[in-house]
Amino acid sequence: MPKGVEHKQGPRIILSGPSGSGKSTVIQRLLDASDLPLRLSVSATTRTRRKNETDGEDYYFLSRQQFEEALARGDFLEWAEVYGNRYGTLRAEVESKRQDGQGVLLDIDVQGAEQVRKACPDSVSIFLAPPSLSVLEQRLRRRGTEDEAAIQRRLAAAAAEMARQDEYDHVVINDNLDRAVEEVVALVRKYFRGKPCSTN
DSSP lists the bridge partners of residue 104 as 12, 39
CA distance 155 to 104: 28
pLDDT, tens digit, 9 for 90 and up, residues 60-106? 999 999 999 999 999 999 998 877 999 999 999 998 899 888 999 99
pLDDT given for residue 196 in this prediction: 54
CATH number of residue 104's parent domain? 3.40.50.300
Instruction: Assess if residue 194 is contained within a domain.
Output: no
Indicate the helix (H) or strand (E) that contains 170.
strand 170-173
**Domain count of the fold of the chain:** 1
Which residues have CB under 8 Å from 141's CB, separation 6+?
151
Instruction: Assess if residue 2 is contained within a domain.
Output: no
What are the start-end ranges of the H helices in the chain?
Answer: 23-33, 64-72, 91-99, 110-119, 133-143, 148-162, 177-189
Q: Which pTM does this prediction carry?
A: 0.83
- Domain limits for position 153: 12-189
CB 4 within 8 A of CB 173: no
Instruction: Assess if residue 200 is contained within a domain.
Output: no
Distances (CA, A) of 85 to 71, 118, 166, 178, 198: 14, 23, 27, 33, 26
Pairing of strands 85-90, 76-82: antiparallel
Instruction: Assess if residue 141 is contained within a domain.
Output: yes
pLDDT over threshold 90, residue 149: no
pLDDT, tens digit, 9 for 90 and up, residues 157-167? 889 999 999 99
Instruction: Assess if residue 108 is contained within a domain.
Output: yes
Which residues have CB under 8 Å from 118's CB, separation 6+?
none
Instruction: Assess if residue 69 is contained within a domain.
Output: yes
The model's confidence at residue 137, banded by pLDDT at 50, 70 and 90, is: confident
Instruction: Assess if residue 3 is contained within a domain.
Output: no
